[in-house]
Chains A and B, each alone.
Chain A
Amino acid sequence: MLLVATAVALIRVRGLLASIMLTSVYGLLSASFFVTMDAVDVAFTEAAVGAGVSPLLLLLTVAIVGRKEAAPLRGRRALLPILLVTVTGALLIVGTFDMPHFGSADAPANHHVAPHYLQQSWDEIGIPNVVTSVLASYRAYDTLGEVLVIFTAGVAVILALAPPGQRGSARPARPSAEEHLGQHTILQVVSKLLIPFMLLFAFYVQFHGEYGPGGGFQAGVIFASGIILYGLLYGLPTVCRVIPPPVVEILAALGVLIYGLTGVISLLGGANYLDYSVLADDPVTAQHIGIIAIELGVGITVAAVIITIYYAFAARLLREED
């Protein structure tokens, strides 16, 4: 209900800043919606990405392009998109009529491979969080695809935003002495208190992902938002000295590499690609090793790509200001 209200408000409101804030609210609401549907891992991601990082990137964009929305299109040109959106929406709604009720016993989700995953997960993989075992072991191919998509997104953002002749996301000049100090003193002090714990929490989520909600994706986003917060308060040049952009870009590729190499190692061991059972003598231990390895890859890639995207946007903003 609140989701619908927010969506309507999102369409009605004119200012871009207000729209971004409403997007964030929408993300937070859908996160709580996911929690009530028992999808804690998804809720975690949605809260971090939907309510946190993506509004932030949108805000950076607005800072670049200005906060006024373009004059609304009149007449014919607006008609076609409206028609398209209406038809697509109607088709989606018609599609939901065929879907089984939530939690219904004869839903395909409860018949196909899912019962096997749910019932055998403890015996075969031995970790409490079934979401992680499905994501990182049974469906490792799909997750590899997702990681590649994220990596590609990072590369695309660099390609789109970097000026000709610049290698990578951001190459700012060395920071002039304490340029930003004194502007946000209180915020800087509080963030200095909090950011270490945010990074620590990211590691907790990363390595606790097998036992509770969380995992590489969530940990990566949390880690990246800690770094981005630092960058917002201290300026791009300073954060680029803390974590140089070339390092981040290499890390983004390294994460994918770790993921892929885990699969190659299991190939070398004589099993299928991304079948971890050959990584150790005991198959359950082997699953643990495999999951930790690929979650590490996922976490590194996600964190590095999000930081890269932030660097690219912030560098663009710096250039616009000059």
Chain B
Amino acid sequence: MMAQWASDICLFIGSFLLLTGAIGFIRFKDFYARIHACGITETLATAFILAGLLLRSDDALPQVKLVLILLFVLFSSPTASHALAKAAWNAGVRPRDSSGKRSIQLPPGER
């Protein structure tokens, strides 16, 4: 019973975080802010959802698999965000400040 409640709460928090990530992805104007919005929430939300599912299953085998998936996500998701941000930086995308200006100057010789 306790596990059921805990699992429900975990799943709810996970879904809520995913939703905030999606809203942030749509609302933010800047590329890096968007990566921030979905990258961070996605990692945490997936962790919560997987933890919720973990509490629901009684068998050992699915639990081990879920833990493996969790580990994989913890490794791969931040790396994916990093790769995206780095690719954007190398392609010449620069962050905007709140007024929409690109306050960080490009190094000379780049567009």
CA distance in complex: A184, B79 (Å): 11
| CB proximity to A under 8 Å, residues B74-110 | 75-76, 79, 82-83, 86
CA distance in complex: A197, B72 (Å): 10
Query: Chain A residue with minimal CB distance to B82?
Result: A186
Q: Is the interface of B mostly helix, strand, loop or mixed?
A: helix
Q: Is A193 an interface residue (CB 8 A)?
A: yes
Count of chain A residues near B, Cβ 8 A? 7
Report yes or no: A194 in contact with B76, Cβ–Cβ below 8 A. Answer: yes
Q: Is A114 an interface residue (CB 8 A)?
A: no
How many Å from the CB of A190 to the closest CB on chain B? Answer: 5
Q: Is A109 an interface residue (CB 8 A)?
A: no
Q: Is the interface of A mostly helix, strand, loop or mixed?
A: helix
CA distance in complex: A194, B72 (Å): 8
Query: Chain B residue with minimal CB distance to A190?
Result: B79
Query: Chain A residue with minimal CB distance to B90?
Result: A183
CA distance in complex: A190, B78 (Å): 10
A-B contact count (CB 8 A): 15
| CB proximity to B under 8 Å, residues A173-203 | 184, 186-187, 190, 193-194, 197
Please indicate the chain B residues that have their CB under 8 angstroms from the CB of A187 in the complex: 79, 82-83
CA distance in complex: A190, B82 (Å): 11
Query: Chain A residue with minimal CB distance to B68?
Result: A197
Please indicate the chain A residues that have their CB under 8 angstroms from the CB of B82 in the complex: 186-187
Please indicate the chain A residues that have their CB under 8 angstroms from the CB of B79 in the complex: 186-187, 190
Please indicate the chain B residues that have their CB under 8 angstroms from the CB of A193 in the complex: 75
CA distance in complex: A184, B86 (Å): 9
Please indicate the chain B residues that have their CB under 8 angstroms from the CB of A184 in the complex: 83, 86
| CB proximity to A under 8 Å, residues B17-42 | none
| CB proximity to B under 8 Å, residues A191-239 | 193-194, 197
CA distance in complex: A218, B86 (Å): 31
Please indicate the chain A residues that have their CB under 8 angstroms from the CB of B86 in the complex: 184
How many Å from the CB of A196 to the closest CB on chain B? Answer: 12
Query: Chain B residue with minimal CB distance to A193?
Result: B75
CA distance in complex: A186, B80 (Å): 10
13 further A-B pairs in the complex, CB-CB below 8 A; given A187-B83, A197-B72: A184-B83, A184-B86, A186-B79, A186-B82, A187-B79, A187-B82, A190-B75, A190-B76, A190-B79, A193-B75, A194-B72, A194-B75, A194-B76
Name the 10 nearest CB pairs between A and B, nearest first. A190-B79, A186-B82, A190-B75, A187-B83, A194-B75, A193-B75, A187-B79, A186-B79, A194-B76, A194-B72
Chain A residues packing against B (C-beta within 8 Å):
184, 186-187, 190, 193-194, 197
The 15 listed contacts between A and B (C-beta, < 8 Å) are A184-B83, A184-B86, A186-B79, A186-B82, A187-B79, A187-B82, A187-B83, A190-B75, A190-B76, A190-B79, A193-B75, A194-B72, A194-B75, A194-B76, A197-B72
